[in-house]
């Protein structure tokens, strides 16, 4: 075992003892550690300065109480977090998630991934993430507003346009960002663009809503092109039916692929004629309904309960866009048997470690989340630039920058994989490329 490998295992041992109750965080660290040995072999100074030991410990974690009053006049209490993970290359940047499963392990795994994703964009942004175990499903607008106001009353003490700039994630869309921003502005008396994903009326960037989904498809297109393939006439399954999924489906359609399925946390629909995206938008964005409602208006489509990745049907490209570890157990075998040759992750860590290995071993082109879903944060950073310049760019300008960023990310990770002797392993390429920039920034800033 090399000294570098020994060091990696020592740090992993330490973090897995210290954070033994954080399985998602440990999974993200393990996946990352499995790729970076070659960098440490080349640069023993990173070992000597204990860069990994410092990297796995967030610079700061804020956990706080969010009390609010529901429509029945009862007082409810939720728990919220902000993990300010690493600011070596810029202010903390990363979304807020509202979902009942949110806990410290989830926000730490998301924050850890965000460090390297943000580094890959080539923009000066550090890694952070946050969220709450509040469940927006079934809540009235008034309840969501009161919750957001209470959360921001506390969070505003720790964020700022040059310090930490939150955005949306699962359960946090334009409505929630609006309420959060309104409260921040009231308490600070300042329109300083402290959140991204804002509505266009007050500093939002055109193209931010579409950015993660469109970016995922731009990335996948570049990956397919290198393998001599395109989206044209390919059948695609997209999981989820939220922000990332909807705009990924829209772009696949523009590139003449056919999306035959999408899902929510209860089940999925198969529509072999091609998903009617406007109908999905109507159900999920306007009515905040369930995907099962789709079949009422498209009788030729079928609704199934369960996980779409276990469905047996022929298709070629998989775009998981729902949540972490949605591809686990038998799912990877089914995906391979269904004839899938490319999978790119729109969600964060949707494929568990074992499934990733299975897919890569079977020769499936694998686009890791850190790279493939970086479009959202990239356009968020463009929103920050527009806010500081007091300018609003046109859609074409933002979209063309997004395209360039996604193609550059693909090129960067694929060349890095080649350079480090793991050609075609884009997960390793993304980890190494994302890591080196942050590691050398940390090194040059001393022990802080
Ligand atoms: P949304 O809340 O808009 O949508 C999430 C979708 O995933 C919903 O359709 C939801 O269904 C579904 N879902 C949630 N949990 C499950 C589950 N266990 N099984 C199946 N479906 C599920 O979130 P986003 O689209 O913003 O985020 C999706 C993923 O993309 C997350 O992993 C997020 O971290 C990641 N991401 C998002 C970015 C962004 O810009 N928004 C940027 C980068 C990554 P239901 O309606 O039933 O809850």
Quote the number of domains for the chain: 3
User: Does 346 contact ligand 1 (Cβ within 6 A)?
Assistant: yes
Does residue 281 belong to any structural domain of this protein? yes
Does residue 376 belong to any structural domain of this protein? no
**Domain end position, chosen among 126, 158, 190:** 190
Phi then psi for residue 239, to 5 deg, are -95, 160
* pLDDT value of position 444: 97
User: Does 414 contact ligand 1 (Cβ within 6 A)?
Assistant: no
CA-nearest residue, atom 42 of ligand 1:
376
**Domain end position, chosen among 190, 222, 251:** 190
Q: How far is the CA of 17 from the centre of ligand 1 (A)?
A: 30
pLDDT in tens, 181-212: 999 999 999 888 899 999 999 999 999 999 99
**Residue range 6-11: mean pLDDT, rounded:** 98
CA-nearest residue, atom 41 of ligand 1:
169
pLDDT in tens, 250-261: 999 999 999 999
Residue 139 burial (C-beta neighbours within 10 Å; 0-12, 13-18, 19+):
middle
- Say whether both 69 and 107 belong to one domain: yes
HSE (CB half, 13 Å, CA atoms) of 155? 30
- Say whether both 213 and 353 belong to one domain: yes
Structural tokens at position 43: 């640069």
CA-nearest residue, atom 36 of ligand 1:
347
Which residues span the domain enclosing 32? Answer: 3-55
As a whole number, the mean pLDDT across the chain is: 97
- Say whether both 225 and 139 belong to one domain: no
**Percent of all residues in the chain with a pLDDT value above 90, rounded to a whole number:** 98
CA-nearest residue, atom 20 of ligand 1:
265
- Say whether both 151 and 108 belong to one domain: yes
Contact between 55 and 448 (Cβ < 8 Å): no
Beta-carbon contacts of residue 6 (< 8 Å; ≥ 6 apart): none
Atom of ligand 1 nearest to the CA of 137: 48
- Say whether both 112 and 27 belong to one domain: no
Does residue 160 belong to any structural domain of this protein? yes
pLDDT in tens, 11-58: 999 999 999 999 999 999 999 999 999 999 999 999 999 999 999 999
CA-nearest residue, atom 32 of ligand 1:
347
Q: How far is the CA of 106 from the centre of ligand 1 (A)?
A: 14
The answer, yes or no, to whether residue 1 has pLDDT greater than 90, is no
Atom of ligand 1 nearest to the CA of 244: 25
Contact between 316 and 224 (Cβ < 8 Å): no
Does residue 200 belong to any structural domain of this protein? no
What are the Cα distances from residue 346, in Å, to 15, 23, 68, 196, 218? 27, 21, 33, 19, 12
Does residue 86 belong to any structural domain of this protein? yes
Contact between 172 and 94 (Cβ < 8 Å): no
- Say whether both 271 and 329 belong to one domain: yes
User: Does 348 contact ligand 1 (Cβ within 6 A)?
Assistant: yes
Which of 28, 108, 169 maximizes ligand 1 atoms within 8 Å of its Cβ, making it the mutation to test the pocket? Answer: 169
Which of 172, 264, 284 maximizes ligand 1 atoms within 8 Å of its Cβ, making it the mutation to test the pocket? Answer: 264
Does residue 149 belong to any structural domain of this protein? yes
- Say whether both 284 and 325 belong to one domain: yes
* pLDDT value of position 133: 98
**Domain end position, chosen among 190, 224, 250:** 190
- Say whether both 51 and 65 belong to one domain: no
Radius of gyration in angstroms for the set of CA atoms belonging to the chain, rounded to a whole number: 21
**Residue range 221-241: mean pLDDT, rounded:** 98
Which CATH number does the domain housing residue 97 bear?
Answer: 3.40.50.10860
With vertex at residue 376, the alpha carbon angle to CA 380 and CA 365, rounded to the nearest 5 degrees, is: 150
- Say whether both 272 and 357 belong to one domain: yes
**Residue range 323-352: mean pLDDT, rounded:** 98
| Active-site annotation holds for 437 | no
Count of C-beta atoms within a 10 Å radius of residue 174: 17
Q: How far is the CA of 323 from the centre of ligand 1 (A)?
A: 5
Atom of ligand 1 nearest to the CA of 110: 34
Which CATH number does the domain housing residue 266 bear?
Answer: 3.40.50.720
pLDDT band at 60 (very low <50, low <70, confident <90, very high): very high
- Say whether both 39 and 138 belong to one domain: no
Q: How far is the CA of 31 from the centre of ligand 1 (A)?
A: 21
Does residue 384 belong to any structural domain of this protein? no
- Say whether both 92 and 162 belong to one domain: yes
- Say whether both 140 and 25 belong to one domain: no
CA-nearest residue, atom 33 of ligand 1:
347
Structural tokens at position 18: 């210290």
Contact between 83 and 107 (Cβ < 8 Å): yes
pLDDT in tens, 342-388: 999 999 999 999 999 999 999 999 999 999 999 999 999 999 999 99
Q: How far is the CA of 321 from the centre of ligand 1 (A)?
A: 6
Q: CA-CA distance, 111 to 377, in Å (whole number)?
A: 13
Q: How far is the CA of 268 from the centre of ligand 1 (A)?
A: 14
Question: Which listed residue (108, 129, 235, 251) is catalytic?
Answer: 129
Q: Which strand ranges, in their side-by-side order, compose the sheet holding 302-305?
A: 302-305, 267-270, 258-263, 235-238, 317-319, 342-344, 365-367
Does residue 320 belong to any structural domain of this protein? yes
Residue 75 burial (C-beta neighbours within 10 Å; 0-12, 13-18, 19+):
exposed
């Amino acid at each position: 075992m090399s000294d570098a490998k020994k060091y990696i295992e020592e740090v992993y041992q330490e973090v897995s003892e210290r954070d033994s109750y954080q399985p998602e965080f440990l999974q993200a660290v393990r996946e990352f550690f499995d790729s970076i040995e070659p960098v440490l072999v080349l640069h023993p100074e990173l070992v000597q300065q204990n860069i990994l030991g410092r990297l796995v410990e967030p610079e700061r974690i804020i956990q706080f109480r969010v009390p609010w009053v529901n429509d029945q006049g009862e007082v409810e209490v939720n728990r919220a977090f902000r993990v300010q993970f690493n600011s070596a290359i810029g202010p903390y940047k990363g979304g807020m998630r509202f979902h009942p499963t949110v806990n410290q392990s989830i926000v730490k795994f998301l924050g850890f991934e965000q460090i390297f994703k943000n580094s890959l964009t080539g923009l000066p942004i550090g890694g952070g993430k946050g969220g709450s175990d509040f469940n927006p499903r079934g809540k009235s607008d008034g309840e969501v507003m009161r919750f957001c106001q209470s959360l921001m009353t506390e969070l505003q003490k720790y964020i700022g346009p040059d310090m930490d700039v939150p955005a949306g994630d699962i359960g946090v869309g334009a409505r929630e960002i609006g309420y959060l921003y309104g409260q921040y502005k009231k308490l600070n008396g300042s329109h300083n663009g402290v959140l991204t994903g804002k509505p266009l009326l007050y500093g939002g960037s055109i193209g931010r809503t579409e950015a993660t989904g469109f970016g995922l498809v731009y990335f996948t297109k570049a990956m397919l092109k290198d393998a001599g393939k395109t989206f044209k006439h390919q059948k695609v399954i997209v999981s989820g039916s939220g922000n990332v999924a909807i705009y990924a489906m829209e772009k696949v359609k523009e590139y003449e692929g056919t999306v035959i399925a999408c899902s929510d946390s209860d089940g999925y629909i198969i529509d072999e004629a091609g998903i009617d995206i406007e109908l999905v938008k109507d159900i999920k964005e306007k009515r905040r309904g369930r995907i099962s409602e789709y079949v009422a208006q498209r009788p030729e489509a079928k609704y199934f309960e369960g996980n779409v990745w276990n469905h047996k049907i022929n298709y070629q490209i998989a775009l998981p866009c729902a949540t972490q570890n949605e591809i686990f157990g038998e799912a990877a075998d089914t995906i391979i048997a269904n004839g899938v040759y490319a999978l790119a992750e729109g969600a964060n860590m949707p494929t568990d470690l074992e499934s990733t290995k299975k897919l890569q071993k079977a020769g499936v082109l694998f686009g890791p989340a850190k790279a493939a879903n970086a479009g959202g944060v990239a356009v968020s950073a463009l929103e920050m630039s527009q806010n500081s310049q007091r300018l609003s760019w046109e859609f074409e300008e933002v979209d063309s920058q997004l395209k360039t960023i996604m193609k550059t990310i693909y090129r960067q990770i694929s060349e890095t994989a080649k350079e480090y002797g793991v050609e075609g392993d884009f997960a390793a390429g993304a980890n190494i490329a994302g890591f080196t920039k942050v590691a050398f920034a940390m090194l040059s800033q001393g022990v802080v």
